Amino acid sequence: MPDIIIPDIIQGPTIVRQSGPAGRLYWLPKTAVSHNLKREVMELNSMLYGNKLQQRLKSQTRTIGFTPSSVRSLFLPSSVATYVTAIAVAGTGYSVGDVLTLGGGTLATGGTATQVKVLTVSEAGAVLTAKILTPATRGLYSAAPTNPCATTVAPSGGTNCTLTMRFETVSQWMPYCASDIGVDILKLSSSTLIEIFAKNEGMVYSYPQSALTKIASPLHLKASDEMLGGGVEFICLGSADGQPVDEDEWMNIAEAQFPQPDFDINDILTDQYEADFASGTAIGSATGFEVDFAAEVKPLPPDMNTGVRAVTLDGFTATVKCAPNNMTDAELEALLRSAGAEALLIGQPVSDPTANLVITGRNSGAVFTLYGCGPKDAQRTHESGQHRFKEVDFVSERRYTAGVPQPLFAFDAE
């Protein structure tokens, strides 16, 4: 009979810390933190001896999942640079390969300034073309620099260049923007380290390379014990070369002091919420408002030498669900545009790029806005003792201004 190791059975509080190019972010779980190993195998078969003679490793991934307590700062809007759109002032004295740092703007907490690499220059060293150095150096700002953006250090004997940049809005909770579609999210979060601190054990479990892949109904705008957040999941692929030749390549377990991040109980929002659609239709909800962010990610087929090495972002959407408690059947049908002169016809868009759904907390002042949206599905029931309207779903569409994709949502919880 083996000895029972009590600390592995009776566990205590945990904290998850994410560290990367944008700084450190603490996640305070309200549920268990799971970290799981998933292996894909190839089976060796034989007509003589049967199938599954042996299973050999084809690829492996690890996932970390938990439900965080509400920390509203995760939704604070931030800006990242996505493209160099023009060279406003070319400057002089530059060489191919020079790395430029943008000046101006206000960095987000833990954020860094955008870095740009010079691609081509003239005979006088004037910058002709440039690009963001790497996806991990696109910067993170609470207020983006004003275009055209100055660079901070001039070349020796030369003059500074000035760049016109495209900036897009993201949040720490949803760290991807429209320009990231098709991009390997591991590169966007280059060297992101996930650490799980176990208080009673005095240990830390570290995963060297990870990225957010799943957000399950993270925003509950209601007065309930569900708090604000839902479940999240990270994928961990180990070190850059993918070969587990060292014990720290995929995961490391070590002794560590339990961190004590700042936490304000008032960051957990439980409030009365009401909504306004298209600046004119007031909506109350018997069940509150549930916002769902769907990040669509796809692991690339395994490399035959190193396994799964990339996970691409295929898309993401934002939706809102509610159960109207202040409408008649006729008012709901008018909202849905199901009949009459304003009826939605086959082939027409469900969403309206000019219509926003604005959800406001009466006491906290928190405001969530779903941009360019419209009602898609509705459920009602005729049953004794039950509310008539069960659910109305709002979906949004991507809007563009001068070719720049605009955010799907905004959340101001300050």
* pLDDT tens-digit series, residues 226-284: 555 567 888 888 765 556 666 677 788 899 888 877 766 666 667 788 999 999 899 99
Q: Is residue 327 part of a domain?
A: no
The per-residue pLDDT for range 383-402, each reduced to its tens digit, is 888 888 889 999 988 888 77
Give strand ranges (E) for 28-154.
34-46, 50-66, 77-89, 99-101, 106-107, 115-121, 127-132, 141-143, 149-150
7 in helix, strand or coil? Answer: helix
Is 355 a member of any domain? no
**Least confident residue range of 97-106, 157-166, 199-208, 321-330:** 199-208
Structure tokens at 315: 């898309």
Residue after which a domain boundary falls, among 124, 141, 171:
171
Residue type, 336: L
The closest alpha carbon to 102, from 50, 52, 157, 167, belongs to 167
Q: Provide the 8-state DSSP code for 303.
A: B
Domain co-membership, 206 together with 64: yes
**CB burial class (10 A; 0-12, 13-18, 19+) of residue 142?**
middle
| Token pair of 23 as six digits | 């700084």
Q: Which helix (H) or strand (E) holds 164?
A: strand 162-171
Q: Say whether both 61 and 89 belong to one domain.
A: no
Tell me the C-alpha distance between 8 and 6, whole Å: 5
Looking at the DSSP bridge assignments, the partners of residue 131 are 117
Q: Are residues 69 and 81 in the same domain?
A: no
**213 domain-assigned:** yes
Give the domain range for residue 166: 77-171
- 86 with 165, same domain: the answer is yes
Answer whether residue 341 is part of any domain: no
pLDDT per position as a tens digit, 1-37: 455 445 555 567 788 887 765 567 777 787 788 888 8
Output the pLDDT for position 200: 82
pLDDT of 28 = 79
Please report the pLDDT score of residue 240 as a whole number. 58
Does 236 share its domain with 204? yes
Q: Quick one: average pLDDT of 314-340?
A: 88
- Looking at 258, 292, 315, the residue that finishes a domain is 258
65: CB partners within 8 A, 6+ apart: 33, 34, 35, 36, 214, 231, 232, 233, 234
Residue 361 lies in a domain: no
Q: How far apart are CA 78 and CA 142, in angstroms?
A: 5
Residue 413 domain-assigned? Answer: no
Looking at the fold, whether 68 and 87 belong to one and the same domain comes out as no
pLDDT tens digit sequence for 90-140: 999 999 999 999 999 998 877 789 999 999 999 999 999 999 988 778 888
Residue 123 included in any domain: yes
Q: Are residues 145 and 88 in the same domain?
A: yes
The domain total for the chain is 2
- pLDDT at residue number 179: 77
- Domain-located, residue 15: yes
Within this chain, do residues 247 and 114 fall inside the same structural domain, yes or no? no
Decide which of 206, 225, 258 is a domain's last residue. Answer: 258
Same domain, 66 and 123: no
Q: What is the model's pLDDT at position 413?
A: 65
Most confident of 197-211, 255-269, 348-362: 348-362
**Looking at the predicted structure, is the pLDDT value of residue 376 above 90?**
yes
